[in-house]
């Protein structure tokens, strides 16, 4: 791969590759895998400083919320410069490990449903609108690709390091 995790959006867009982001958002494959994980297993960390599975799911949900808000602003041609966010601060100040895993999954599914509704509301022209968040300037469609690639990256980590 050309990009690394430190490249942020570009890494996740590349990670998605040629996969169709719309199909990725509509797919139930990742949710089905997550629903197969027990409450006990959902608190597992493969190393002490790593997030639990619950925290990863909470992070995916937070990330999709933040990104969808950014895309909403871009689609409405709001020129406000949007800041980045500190994912570790978000996780550190969450209650993900205290919540039932089923609740976290339900929240993730609800956010995904809202994202899918938002995607369907966008015209082809809106998908090509460019927005700037932190230091990145991308089309709305690229933001969608990055969300799908971000999710797939974390799901692959769960499969390789948490469920082996």
Task: Provide the pLDDT confidence category of residue 106 given band limits of 50, 70 and 90.
Answer: very high
CB 70, CB 118: distance < 8 Å: no
Residue 115: predicted pLDDT: 97
C-alpha distances (whole Å) from 33 to each of 36, 43, 85, 163 are: 5, 16, 28, 10
pLDDT in tens, 130-164: 998 878 889 999 999 999 999 999 999 999 999 98
Neighbouring CB atoms inside 10 A of 108's CB total 20
For residues 85 and 125, give the distance between their C-alpha atoms in angstroms, rounded to a whole number. 27
Given phi > 0 = left and psi -120 to 50 = alpha, else beta, which region is 134? Answer: left
* Assigned architecture for domain 5-37+50-162: Up-down Bundle (1.20)
């Amino acid at each position: 791969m050309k990009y690394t995790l430190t490249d942020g959006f570009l890494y996740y867009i590349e990670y998605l590759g040629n996969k169709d982001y719309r199909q990725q958002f509509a797919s139930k494959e990742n949710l089905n895998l997550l629903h197969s994980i027990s409450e006990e297993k959902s608190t597992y960390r493969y190393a002490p400083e790593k997030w639990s599975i619950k925290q990863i799911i909470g992070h995916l949900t937070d990330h999709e919320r933040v990104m969808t808000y950014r895309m909403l602003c871009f689609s409405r041609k709001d020129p406000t410069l949007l800041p980045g966010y500190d994912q570790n601060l978000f996780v550190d100040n969450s209650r993900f490990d205290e919540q039932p895993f089923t609740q976290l999954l339900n929240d993730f599914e609800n956010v995904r449903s809202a994202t899918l509704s938002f995607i369907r509301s966008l015209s082809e022209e809106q998908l090509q609108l460019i927005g700037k968040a932190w230091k990145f300037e991308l089309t709305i469609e690229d933001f969608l690709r990055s969300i799908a690639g971000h999710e797939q990256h974390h799901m692959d980590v769960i499969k390789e390091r948490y469920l082996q």
